[in-house]
């Protein structure tokens, strides 16, 4: 079967994954309004293409946190890649190294960070962090990834509690016994009597985390800190005031608070408030190259994809994810050219119809 667009990979994954795994990847919170709006919001935005601008050569390269990547699409942190493909995050690391883009490894990876780095030693990676009640656990993983050459920490702030994902509850979804959250092998397993969530002891994440924990994190690391899960200008301003280096505008793929804004709809107020003081990225609902173009036009430095990466893995592991990234790269290049942009520096708000500004 020829894979032409990202939804081809979605259909393949839906057909070939077990129902419980598919439901877990697809899940949104409650009625899935925010999950679905993440995609619909891109379709509401209209472009203002410019013509006759010699687009015979186009350059999709950009930088994030000072490092060059081949195009402005990275991999958002998603848990449990071994559910989609037996090599799991090792395949993800190889595909992203090959395509020269940024891979944010989830705390809940089913390969360890050491295995990931060994598989793709030259890959450019950030590590996604949750803050545990037991701060020592968070501190240990921070020091591990720093020593392994991860280039930034992505602090996820929208999971004080896990959102209510109805099918996961109906399916009693949990990691099968042969898979583990490898970064915490032996740590989480000790608490087998405790109630579980997805096969992980419940209540390990600290719902009391607050802005002071950003200072705590800064005190234990020299890595840049990027906050993932901001949706308002007020919190964006606080992030800048607390000295972080980046923001990922995100609603966690609509898996946490249902009824919040589509992430692309939240982007503009954050970009306007931050005024270039730190880099802003966005994830949620990006499925085509023109979605990438729209996000950049509205001020994102780079976008990240979550579910499409696991669909690629489910299709053919490393090769499948490479295909997903290559298709997005090709579509983005074409959208740039058809709207008169020769490089990412030429993408700006003039490309967006006024009703969306
Ligand atoms: C199956 C799945 C697992 C996820 N796991 C994590 C995670 O471990 N940490 C995290 O910060 N975000 C996690 N997310 C949220 C993603 O990083 C990202 O915000 C979201 O998937 C983007 O939306 P998209 O799937 O429409 O691209 C997960 C999302 C999905 C779909
Ligand atoms: C015990 C919390 C598990 C969270 C799993 C990863 C995640 O963020 C998700 O959206 O799923």
CA distance 140 to 123: 22
Strand pairing class (67-69; 153-156): unpaired
State how far the Cα of 67 lies from the Cα of 5, in Å rounded to an integer: 28
How many whole angstroms separate alpha carbon 275 and alpha carbon 270?
8
Structure token digits, residue 23: 């439901």
On average, the pLDDT of the chain sits at 96
As to burial, measured by CB atoms within 10 angstroms (0-12 exposed, 13-18 middle, 19+ buried), residue 210 is: exposed
Give the pLDDT mean for 61-80: 98
Residues lining ligand 2, CB < 6 A?
79, 108, 159, 162, 197-198, 200, 252, 255
Separation of CA 152 and ligand 2 centre (Å): 20
Q: Whose CA is nearest to atom 29 of ligand 1?
A: 78
Q: Is residue 155 within 8 Å of 226, Cβ to Cβ?
A: yes
Reported confidence tier of residue 1, pLDDT bands at 50, 70, 90: confident
pLDDT over 70 for what percent of the chain?
97
Give the Cα separation of 84 and 22 in Å (integer): 9
**Mean pLDDT within 318-338:** 98
pLDDT tens-digit map of 223-267:
999 999 999 999 999 999 999 999 999 999 999 999 999 999 999
Ligand 1 atom index nearest CA of 228: 11
Query: Residue positions in the annotated binding site for FMN?
Result: 77-79, 106, 128, 130, 156, 228, 250, 283-287, 306-307
In whole angstroms, how far apart are CA 292 and each of 34, 63, 96, 298, 332?
Answer: 19, 15, 17, 10, 7
Structure tokens at 252: 């966690």
| CA 199 to ligand 2 centroid distance, Å | 11
Active site residue 252: yes
Judged against a pLDDT cut of 90, whether residue 356 lies above it is answered with: no
Distance (Å) from CA 200 to ligand 2 centroid: 10
Pick the closest to residue 141 from 247, 220, 209, 197 (CA basis). Answer: 220
Site to probe by mutation for ligand 1, drawn from 36, 305, 306 as the one with most ligand atoms within 8 Å of Cβ, is 306
Q: What ipTM did this prediction achieve?
A: 0.99
Q: Over the stretch 176-228, which tens digit does the pLDDT of each residue have?
A: 999 999 998 877 654 455 678 898 887 899 999 999 999 999 999 999 999 99
| Residue identifier of the C-alpha nearest atom 14 of ligand 1 | 78
pLDDT tier for residue 91 given thresholds of 50, 70 and 90: very high
Which of left, alpha, beta for 196 (phi over 0: left; psi -120 to 50: alpha)?
beta
Ligand nearest to the CA of 324: 1
Domains of the chain: 6-356 (3.20.20.70)
Ligand 1 residue neighbourhood (C-beta within 6 Å): 24-25, 38, 76-79, 106-108, 128, 156, 228, 250, 252-253, 255, 283-286, 305-307
* Residue 230, pLDDT score: 99
The pLDDT value given to residue 196 = 82
Query: What average pLDDT does range 154-172 have in this prediction?
Result: 98
Sequence-ordered list of residues with C-beta below 8 angstroms from that of 330, at least 6 positions apart, any chain: 289
Nearest-CA residue for ligand 1 atom 7 is 78
Q: Select the more confidently predicted residue: 197 or 108.
A: 108
pLDDT of residue 355: 67
Residue 151 pLDDT: 99
């Amino acid at each position: 079967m020829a894979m032409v667009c990202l939804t081809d990979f979605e259909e393949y994954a839906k057909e070939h994954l077990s129902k419980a795994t598919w439901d877990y990847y697809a899940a949104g919170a409650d009625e899935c309004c925010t999950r679905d709006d993440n995609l619909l919001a891109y379709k509401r935005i209209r472009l203002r293409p410019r013509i006759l601008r010699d687009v015979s050569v186009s350059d999709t390269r950009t930088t994030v946190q000072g490092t060059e990547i081949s195009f402005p699409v990275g991999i958002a942190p998603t848990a449990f890649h071994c559910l989609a493909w037996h090599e799991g995050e090792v395949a993800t690391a190889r595909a992203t190294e090959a395509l020269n883009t940024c891979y944010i490894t989830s705390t809940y990876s089913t390969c360890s960070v050491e295995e990931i780095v060994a598989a793709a030693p030259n890959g450019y990676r950030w590590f996604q962090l949750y803050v545990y009640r037991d701060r020592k656990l968070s501190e240990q993983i921070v020091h591990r990834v720093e020593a392994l050459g991860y280039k930034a920490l992505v602090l996820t702030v929208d999971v004080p509690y896990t959102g209510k994902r109805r099918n996961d509850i109906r399916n009693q979804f949990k990691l099968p016994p042969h898979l583990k959250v490898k970064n915490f092998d032996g740590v989480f397993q000790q608490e087998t009597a405790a109630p579980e969530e997805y096969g992980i002891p419940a209540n390990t994440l600290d719902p009391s985390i607050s802005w002071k924990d950003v200072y705590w994190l800064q005190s234990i690391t020299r890595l840049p800190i990027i906050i993932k899960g901001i949706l308002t200008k007020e919190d964006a301003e606080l992030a800048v005031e607390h000295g972080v280096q980046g923001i990922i505008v995100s609603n966690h793929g609509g898996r946490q608070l249902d009824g919040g804004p589509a992430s692309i709809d939240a982007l503009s107020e954050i970009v306007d408030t931050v005024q270039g003081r730190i880099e802003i990225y966005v994830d949620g609902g990006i499925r085509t190259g023109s979605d990438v173009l729209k996000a950049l036009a509205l001020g994102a430095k780079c976008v990240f994809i979550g579910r499409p990466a696991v669909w690629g893995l489910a299709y053919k592991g490393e090769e499948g994810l490479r295909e997903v990234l290559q298709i997005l790269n090709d579509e983005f290049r074409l959208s740039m050219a058809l709207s008169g942009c020769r490089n990412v520096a030429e993408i700006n708000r003039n490309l967006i119809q006024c009703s969306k500004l």
